[in-house]
Amino acid sequence: MVPPVTPAIRAQHLSKHYDGHAVVQDVSFELTPGETLVLLGPSGCGKTTLLRMLNRLVEPDSGTVEVFGQDVRHPRPEQLRRGIGYVIQQVGLLPHYTVAENVGVVPRLLGHAPASIATRTEELLNRLHLPPARYANQYPHQLSGGQQQRVGLARALAADPPLILLDEPFGALDPITRTSIRREFRELEELRRKTMVLVTHDVQEAFELADRILLLDAGQVQQLGTPQELLFSPANDFVRRFFAAEQLALQLRTLRLTDLLPYLVSGSTNNSLSNRNTIPPTATIQEAIEALSNASELTTLAEEQVLFVRSADTGSPISLTISSLMGAFGQAIQHLRRS
């Protein structure tokens, strides 16, 4: 018997009306610790309201929320919020506080010792590429949008909360900054252990960051599942239509080489394998295509460039060319659609 794990969040039958208009209708979900859930949907679908119910910035009309087994209505709202990281699109740094003071807000509220707050702030600023020597004493208006959002993230992480809520955290940034910050965000060691709920309307972002996606429309859950499930087993027409425009791009990012292994021919090779000409099986198709088209030092076979996939099961490497990859990709898609 595996002991039952207390879910990080258990939301049950949440509903919220504004002026008789239902914004959130009977939404339930559970989140295991460490999981990242993306609340996705068009503007006005209720995803932000749903998020704000989790830290009681919005009180639901009906339904309950438990965070790590505790009903959120029991602690005082401030007490609850101090234990949950919160990041919003407009950042909302306190303009009259320095960067360091902004980061230290929650630990100060929690009564941490000044010395430990200083150490923690320094550590976080370093990790988020904001050298404290230069940035700690600056004011928010002296920072770029991307830097402000990093401070906002550091502020949410300062008290090391197990749960973090993010409301379109990259929404206000220009596309280039957004991509780079998103990469940093994904690679941040600090966040690996956290349970996160992230609101976005950007499908690419959702697929990139989510363990699971909760797709909302008009306050109702359309589908809750992994990106792959939403893409290949849409629950209804809305889900299908929602991803239609970006379907191919999403498929290339969602499917991994492991998913294609049944359709790839394995063969022996004389080539010595090195890090340069191999790719892990967990790589996405997108990454494999990029590797194949960029690298100039790969072995050329019949005028096609070749990568080798180390198969986890057999141990014998599989050779990969653009044409074999695309063929297998097509077969896999067909298979997934049929099933």
Q: Is the CB of 107 or the CB of 225 nearer to another protein?
A: 107
Give the position of tokens 């992994």.
Answer: 226
Strand (E) or helix (H) holding 135:
helix 132-135
| E strand residue ranges, the chain | 9-18, 21-31, 36-40, 62-67, 70-71, 84-88, 163-167, 195-200, 212-217, 220-225, 278-279, 299-301, 304-309, 318-320
Q: Is the CB of 31 or the CB of 106 nearer to another protein?
A: 106
- Taking CB under 8 A as the binding criterion, the range among 87-95, 200-208, 227-235, 276-284 that sits at the site for another protein is 87-95
Q: Is the CB of 105 or the CB of 283 nearer to another protein?
A: 105
- Taking CB under 8 A as the binding criterion, the range among 66-74, 78-86, 284-292, 331-339 that sits at the site for another protein is 78-86
Q: Indicate whether 105 belongs to the interface with another protein (CB under 8 A).
A: yes
Give how far Cα 82 sits from Cα of 34, 35, 95, 329, Å. 19, 20, 20, 47
C-alpha span between 61 and 72 (Å, rounded): 14
C-alpha span between 139 and 94 (Å, rounded): 9
Instruction: Show contacts with another protein in window 119-158 (CB under 8 A).
Output: 152, 155
Q: Indicate whether 194 belongs to the interface with another protein (CB under 8 A).
A: no
- Taking CB under 8 A as the binding criterion, the range among 105-113, 176-184, 259-267, 282-290 that sits at the site for another protein is 105-113
Contact 104, 113 (CB under 8 A): no
- Taking CB under 8 A as the binding criterion, the range among 104-112, 115-123, 185-193, 277-285 that sits at the site for another protein is 104-112
The residue among 8, 4, 5 whose CA lies nearest residue 163 is 8
- Taking CB under 8 A as the binding criterion, the range among 83-91, 117-125, 265-273, 294-302 that sits at the site for another protein is 83-91
Q: Is the CB of 167 or the CB of 217 nearer to another protein?
A: 167
Contact 85, 161 (CB under 8 A): yes
- Taking CB under 8 A as the binding criterion, the range among 85-93, 177-185, 210-218, 292-300 that sits at the site for another protein is 85-93
C-alpha span between 194 and 8 (Å, rounded): 10
Q: Indicate whether 188 belongs to the interface with another protein (CB under 8 A).
A: no
Q: Nearest distance from residue 103's CB to another protein, in Å?
A: 11
Q: Is the CB of 86 or the CB of 135 nearer to another protein?
A: 86
Classify the C-alpha dihedral 173-174-179-184 as positive or negative. negative
Q: Is the CB of 128 or the CB of 306 nearer to another protein?
A: 128
Q: Going residue by residue from 258 to 287, which x/- string records binding to another protein, judged by CB under 8 A?
A: ------------------------------
Strand (E) or helix (H) holding 53:
helix 47-54
Burial of residue 22 (CB within 10 Å: 0-12, 13-18, 19+) is middle
Q: Indicate whether 99 belongs to the interface with another protein (CB under 8 A).
A: no
Give how far Cα 87 sits from Cα of 48, 108, 148, 245, Å. 12, 18, 11, 29
Kindly determine how many residues on this chain lie close enough to bind another protein according to the rule CB under 8 A.
24
Task: Quote the tokens at residue 20.
Answer: 């008789």
Instruction: Show contacts with another protein in window 33-72 (CB under 8 A).
Output: 55, 57
Q: Is the CB of 92 or the CB of 132 nearer to another protein?
A: 92
Q: Indicate whether 322 belongs to the interface with another protein (CB under 8 A).
A: no
Residues that bind another protein (CB under 8 A): 55, 57, 78-83, 86, 88-96, 105-106, 109, 152, 155, 165
